[in-house]
Structure 1
Amino acid sequence: MFSLLNFNSAKKLFFQIPFRKLSTNFTPVRLAYASYESTAPPSEQDPAALVVNHGIFGSKSNWNSLCKVYHEKTRRKIIAVDARNHGDSPHAQEHTYVHLALDLEELVKQLKLTKVAVLGHSMGGRAAMYFALKYPNLVDKLIVVDISPVVRYADMKSIGRLFNVLQSLELPKNVTMSVARNQTDQQLSRYVMDKGLRNFLLTNLVQTLDGSYHWRINISALKANFDDICGFPPTNSLNFQGPVLFMSGANSDLIQNSDHDRILKLFPKAEFVSIEGTGHWLHSEKPKEFLDHTVKFLNKNDKL
């Protein structure tokens, strides 16, 4: 039963299904984003902008506080994006890492950027990895948060049921947001025991002009592409020769020591840092330690 899963169990299963299919529709979507930048005119001496990618069911707003600090402490322009089928970005039937990387390439071209640093958590981390592998000339540095390209097999029935649960809920109408969240949370609690997971999911509840509520994530597309979200595309001879930092929570097993050899084949300059006392959400569980490591990495003068 899904109700017996705690949040850590749920998070662990999200990333253990192999990449299986590949759509033939390679049309990018224009991503919604929030930028954090100086009012001063840009200079050729400015470091590359940092693009921040959230995980599944997340949005750019999850990273608002950290993005402000990154801008202040790295002098970089910060661009927090909503992935396709999330937040304010367009919905699409396709949702594979090939498509997510293509969306990032489109964003770089749209913003007329030469190179970007990329930070990605979970699903966003795999999108960032594939973007760096596929378009290495566009990437200055890469930070991958609690995910790796190594795919492990597991039963996905409990996680697959989460999509069905969200689709089955009777969403309220003509009530305030606080009331709507409470009513929806009461229904969710029958299936999902962990309050943190429920609160995270409820950030996707939005009200329309007619007073009704809906999920802003594209549940049907995410459900249809879930095998791909939990996998990683074939890499063949791809690799990224630039600086890479893999950050993990010590209580999470999504980056294991046994993964390092595979990671180093794809990212020969990869560094590994684990933060004690944290799990999958290390950036929110211990933001100071997370910022200390990532800011130091971003500010380091690497020769590419």
Structure 2
Amino acid sequence: MFITRIGRQKLFRSLNIIHKTCPRYFSSKLPSSDTVELAYASYESTADPEDNSQPPLVILHGLLGSKNNWNSMSKAIHRTTGRKVISIDARNHGDSQHSSHHTYVHMANDIMKLLKKLELSKVSLLGHSMGGRTAMVLSLLCSDLVSSLIVVDISPVKTSPQIFSMVNLFDAMSSVDIRPGIAMSKARRLADEQLKNITPDVNLRNFLITNLVQTNTGAYTWRVNLPALKDNFQNHISCFPSNLKGLQYCGPTLFIGGSLSDYIRKNDLKEIQEFFPMANMVFVEGAGHWVHSQKPEKFLKIVCQFLAEK
């Protein structure tokens, strides 16, 4: 068994757990109104027969990201491994529904709901940053659903001080003012100019601007739910849920960190293995927090090798 009797009883008390939500294990008891419909993109072969023996790989993006950020990598992973790849927009991001709630338990339940809809009883999970913590929570709450787990540059036991600068980004994005009716290219340039006041990092600004969208009326807005993200950031997004201690996911687990990032450290491994006893850790030289976009070839090789072996 992946979950001990003591761990299950503890989780029942702390999260009000019910067995029926997850096909063979359990999830937190959330009202159906607290789960949202998630948008996703699926990458699978049409010309060649699928290898149905391999569970699909589900990819979960980070804070202020979207499934679109993983388009090229999703295609490359599918092409290399032959696995079906499903990249998902988290609640309050991309094309998924918005909600005032934004906790890792809520996001894990959203994923469970989608997998049930897609009739998937076993998947591998890959999550970056916020998506990595969502993947960890889902693995702990519903171990039987998860074939293997890949967590990218985030830890369940430590939090980088850099993460708290995100509040400034929320405020900066909220203050961007663009007149309606202008071309998207000009709107992006104007947004970039205004965001320079908060960050000199052009790559970060370009990442944020991927969230700029134009409405049917010609007005510009952000597709991420900034108020909900800001309200939930301090207590829910910036930290790993403390009430999951005592639970374990004992399946194959790989943590991939960037050597230039402080979101995860080598000395975290011992505490990480209290949650994930089979966890191994690898660091990509020259990469920061966005390992997959900064060192894509190395990242692809590590992920595909892990999936081939597990």
Matched, 1:54 2:61: yes
Structure 2 residue corresponding to 1:84, chosen from 76, 86, 91: 91
Alignment size in residue pairs: 281
Structure 2 residue corresponding to 1:230, chosen from 229, 238, 255: 238
CA contact (8 A) 1:25 1:94 kept: no
Out of 114-123 and 257-266, give the one that drifted further: 257-266
In structure 1, what is the equivalent of residue 291 of structure 2?
282
Matched, 1:170 2:177: yes
* TM-score normalized with structure 1 length: 0.87
Letter in 2 for 1:98: V
* Displacement after TM superposition at 1:256 (Å): 1.0
Gap regions ≥5 residues in structure 2: 1-14, 17-27
Out of 44-53 and 263-272, give the one that drifted further: 44-53
Taking only the aligned residue pairs, the percentage that are identical comes to 49
Distance 1:29 1:37 in 2: 25
Distance 1:58 1:153 in 2: 18
Distance 1:89 1:116 in 2: 21
In structure 2, what is the equivalent of residue 201 of structure 1?
208
In structure 1, what is the equivalent of residue 25 of structure 2?
none
Out of 101-110 and 154-163, give the one that drifted further: 154-163
Structure 1 residue corresponding to 2:264, chosen from 251, 255, 258: 255
Quote the RMSD (CA, aligned, Å): 2.2
Distance 1:111 1:214 in 2: 31
* Displacement after TM superposition at 1:191 (Å): 2.3
CA contact (8 A) 1:54 1:81 kept: yes
Letter in 1 for 2:150: I
Letter in 2 for 1:270: A
Distance 1:244 1:32 in 2: 26
Structure 2 residue corresponding to 1:67, chosen from 70, 74, 95: 74
CA contact (8 A) 1:140 1:242 kept: yes
* Displacement after TM superposition at 1:139 (Å): 0.3
Name the SS for the 1:248 alignment partner.
strand
Distance 2:195 2:50 in 1: 50
Letter in 1 for 2:239: G
Q: Aligned in 2, Cα 1:195/1:175: closer, same or farther, shift over 3 Å?
A: same
Q: Aligned in 2, Cα 1:158/1:41: closer, same or farther, shift over 3 Å?
A: closer
* Displacement after TM superposition at 1:38 (Å): 2.0
Out of 188-197 and 33-42, give the one that drifted further: 33-42
In structure 2, what is the equivalent of residue 114 of structure 1?
121
Matched, 1:30 2:37: yes
Q: Aligned in 2, Cα 1:271/1:221: closer, same or farther, shift over 3 Å?
A: same
Name the SS for the 1:191 alignment partner.
coil
Structure 1 residue corresponding to 2:218, chosen from 202, 211, 215: 211
* TM-score normalized with structure 2 length: 0.86
Higher helix content, 1 or 2: 2
